[in-house]
Amino acid sequence: MLEGIRVLACGARDAVRLCATLLERAGAAVERTASDSADYDVILVSSDFDDANVVARWKTSGSHMVCDITATGPQDSRAGRRWSDAQIQAMSGLMDTTGFAHGAPVRIGVPLTEISAALYAAAAIAAAVRVKRMRGIVQNIDVTLSGCAASALTTFLPAAFARRAVGRLGNRHPACAPWNAYRTRDGWILICTGTEEQWRKLKQEARVPQLDDARFASLAERVRHVDELDALVESWTTTLTTDDCTRICESIGVAAGPIVGVRDLADEPNFRMRHAQAARAMKAHGVDADTYRDVSIFETSALSDALPVAKRAVPCERGANAAPLAGVKVIEIGQYTTAPLVGKHLAALGAQVVKIEPPGGEAARAWSPGQGGTSYFFALNNTDKETIALDLKQESARAYLRTLLKDADVLVENLRPGALAKLGFTREALGAINPRLVYCSISGFGMTSAYPSRPAFDTVIQAMGGLMDLTRADGAPVKIGASGADILGGQAALFAILARLAAREENAGAFIEISMQDVAAWCALFAAGNNSARGQALACLDGHIWMEREVSDAERAQCSALPKAVAAVKLAGATPVMRVDELLQDGDFLADVLSAARDANGAFWPVLKAPYRLTKTPACVRAAPGAPQAVRLAPPAPARAPVPEDRPA
């Protein structure tokens, strides 16, 4: 996809190293040591760690695309300092959203902001390569860890917009119960119930008489009495092994999975099936600094082997100010986070994105809080899209979708594996409709999976991908507060799609497969093999500060008697742990991250800027989504009148 692109990766940040690995995976040639005679297309740097003067010369030369990954933007009041991933977690709100409700904030066990910056940088580079190949424009790219951290807060910012308190939930869900990590006879299991039917089946299997109590008769009551509910559920799970409990949940359609240790991934059935070579190496040699490189976060193949190769007429608008994806048409069939994240970034980069919603709209539209009948969460994830309502169970709606797909360039979806095929849109069928289509499927465990019938939520994937094993509060595994598996899976898909669109050759259609568990494991293995400095959150009068050094008892006592802003000044190396609602009073957040968009009715909505900046063809967030438009479909063919049976006279 990026064959022929030469990359120099010389920045000191983990994000540079990870981004280089991603570009290599997409076909680029990467060098880690500069050569005076080399003609690089892309130079990866981190100017807050590297020689800023050298970086400035590269940026102004006009002969290279320079991608500069830094902690904060150049206009940020904190610019230029060597902020670590953990410090960015603290100052961005990510740390305060991770951990148990009545405990201290918890550092996410993987360098989430570095990983996110690497993925967004790789995607932005692919977009810039496409612009250079098609229009000859060379430009620079800036990516900030702080912007990437803010982009991961879409489940928490809505409450802050509505001036509501934003707190930690641990492994629980704010609106569903039971939804938590529970001890078993030999480990932990993550169980998530999202419907009354799932709760009824789980209660029936558990056979704990107290679960029939009126306190748990409705969802609202279960959430209100969640402490008692969780204790009763755990009284059942502790009688079972993790494997037995998982099998029971899968048999009744309840999303569940074991909390897998990073070093146990080699024995995890789906990981072992999808990454046999990596699993064997881990069994033989353990996890080291390069183990993560043996795991691919996306797989590409032909859309359909049954069709002849068809040339892609690469769409493009030639104007100097045209966006990177001007002329590209995208169909999105997605909900919640993963596919919508992909769609909103493709739209920000200039693509026409048509989002297919079910009749009545995507369920997330109705989440609280919001305005005008649409949630802030939905708006944050669906900017700049055309939205239409289609009931794909109806043949007329499927026929309309086939019409949309005929001239589309990309189809991205995050339905359950096989769901689109059951509607008649197999890879072969899609290839027959449009042989040049790039089709990206995002799922929890992949299209080829050891768990073809197992439902997957973000929390389950965090558990089964090693992320929760590395993120612990007082020894107990805890999920990343943000929807880490969903977000990282969406970012991986975004990069894979953009790399395919940037390919030099006019490619035939392609199939891109994203398994969120693959992406989670890639992140966890990197973190396990590249240990970062530990630290601790210290309590203050009004919150916490984050320290990355040993703290004396006297300093701890001093900190507890001070507001966190004062403690951060008095204790060397301290960083205040910001709450999400506090970000809305932070000048840097308001200037560098937050923006406003209008919907079709003229109402203003708070939205987020893209965390990557292309200097000549920038990504732009412009419009909030409106209501899904109804489509006038052809009426069904009238039923034929029955033919009378011949009867003997």
Q: What's the whole-number mean pLDDT along residues 380-398?
A: 96
Model pLDDT, residue 365: 92
Provide the pLDDT for residue 62: 87
Provide, rounded to the nearest whole percent, the portion of the chain with pLDDT above 70.
Answer: 95
Which tokens go with 347? 């739209």
Looking at the structure, tell me whether residues 29 and 157 fall in a common domain.
yes
SS (H, E, C) 271-308: HHHHCHHHHHHHHHHCCCCCHHHHCCCCEEEECCCCCC
Lowest mean pLDDT among 27-31, 152-156, 173-177, 633-637: 633-637
Give the mean pLDDT of 324-333.
97
Mean pLDDT lowest for which of 114-128, 401-415, 466-480, 504-518? 504-518
Assess contact for 207 and 233: CB atoms under 8 A.
no
Segment (H or E) for 472: strand 472-473
Q: Indicate whether 41 belongs to any domain.
A: yes
The pLDDT tens digits for 149-168 are 999 999 999 999 999 877 88
- The DSSP annotation for 68-105 comes to EEESS-TTSTTTTS---HHHHHHHHSTTTTSS-TTS--
Query: Which of 274, 293, 312 is at the close of a domain?
Result: 293
Length of the chain: 649
Q: In sequence order, what are the residues at sequence separation of 6 or more whose Cβ sits closer than 8 angstroms to the Cβ of residue 233?
A: 178, 180, 182, 191, 202, 206, 208, 211
Q: In whole angstroms, give the CA distance from residue 117 to residue 18.
A: 9
**Residue 507: what pLDDT?**
57
Q: Compute the distance between CA of residue 294 and CA of residue 182 in angstroms, rounded to an integer.
A: 31
Residue 333 shares a structural domain with residue 461: yes
Domain count, the chain: 4
Average pLDDT of the chain is 92
Dihedrals φ, ψ of 441, to 5°? -110, 130
CATH of residue 185: 3.30.1540.10
DSSP string, 365-429: GGPSSEETTEEHHHHHHSTT-EEEE--TTSHHHHHHHHHHHHT-SEEEE-SPTTHHHHTT--HHH
Predicted confidence (pLDDT) at residue 113 exceeds the cutoff of 50: yes
Assigned domain for 633 exists: no
The pLDDT value given to residue 649: 35
Same domain for 190 and 315: no
Residues 29-63 pLDDT 10s: 999 888 765 789 999 999 999 888 889 999 998 88
Cα distance between residue 526 and residue 541, in whole Å: 36
Region label for 631, one of left (φ > 0), alpha (ψ between -120 and 50) or beta (otherwise): beta
Residue 120 sits in the same domain as residue 203: no
| Residue 377 one-letter amino acid | F
Q: How far apart are CA 147 and CA 121, in angstroms?
A: 12
Pick from 241, 258, 275: which residue ends a domain? 258
Residue 547 lies inside a defined structural domain of this protein = no
Residue 572 has pLDDT above 90, yes or no: no
pLDDT at 636 (0 to 100): 62
What is the pLDDT averaged over residues 297-326?
72
Q: What is the pLDDT of residue 242?
A: 96
Burial (Cβ within 10 Å: 0-12, 13-18, ≥19) of residue 419: middle
Work out the average pLDDT over 627-649: 62
Q: Assess whether 36 and 113 both reside in one domain.
A: yes
State residue 646's pLDDT score: 39
pLDDT at 320 over 70: no
Query: Per-residue pLDDT for 639 more than 90?
Result: no
Q: What is the mean pLDDT of residues 579-586?
A: 95
Q: Do 46 and 89 share a domain, yes or no?
A: yes
Task: State how far the Cα of 64 lies from the Cα of 441, in Å rounded to an integer.
Answer: 33
Are 455 and 504 in the same domain? yes
466 in a structural domain: yes
In this predicted model, what pLDDT tens digit does every residue of 231-251 receive, in sequence order?
Answer: 999 999 999 999 999 999 999
Average pLDDT over residues 185-212: 95
Peptide bond into 477 cis (omega under 30): no
- What are 496's two structure tokens? 């894979």
DSSP codes joined into one string, 218-278: SHHHHHHTHHHHHHHHHHHHTTS-HHHHHHHHHHTT-EEEE---GGGGGGSHHHHHH-HHH
User: Which tokens hold the place of 561?
Assistant: 């008697």
Q: What is the CATH number of the domain that holds 399?
A: 3.40.50.10540
Residue 438: both structure tokens together: 């790039």
Last residue in a domain, options 166, 197, 227: 166
Residues of the chain with pLDDT > 90, as a percent, come to: 82
307 and 430 housed in the same domain = yes
What's the domain range around 104? 6-166
* Interior/surface letters 295-315, b for 16+ CB within 10 angstroms, e for the rest: bbbbbbebbbeeeeebebebb
**What backbone phi and psi angles, to 5 degrees, belong to 608?**
-110, 140
Does 624 have pLDDT greater than 70?
yes
Interior angle at CA 335, CA 608 and CA 151, nearest 5: 20
Kindly state whether residues 465 and 482 are assigned to the same domain: yes
615 belongs to a structural domain: no
Do 249 and 191 contact (CB within 8 A), yes or no?
yes
Q: Which of 159-163, 242-246, 284-288, 632-636 has the lowest mean pLDDT?
A: 632-636
- Whether 218 and 301 map to the same domain: the answer is no
| 79/86 Cα distance (integer angstroms) | 16
Range with the poorest average pLDDT among 14-23, 152-161, 316-325 = 316-325
Question: For the residues 348-361, what does the mean pLDDT come to?
Answer: 96
Residues belonging to the active site: 486
Is the per-residue pLDDT at 116 higher than 80? yes
- Assigned token pair, 318: 């030639």
**pLDDT tens, 447-462?**
999 998 787 899 999 9
Both 72 and 185 in a single domain? no
Contact 558, 545 (CB under 8 A): no
The dihedral of CA 92, 93, 99, 102: what is its sign?
Answer: positive
Query: Would you say residue 310 has pLDDT above 50?
Result: no
Q: Quick one: average pLDDT of 131-157?
A: 96
Backbone φ, ψ for residue 395 (5° rounding): -60, -40
Least confident of 36-50, 186-200, 426-440: 36-50
| pLDDT value of position 115 | 98
**Is 392 found in the same domain as 278?**
no
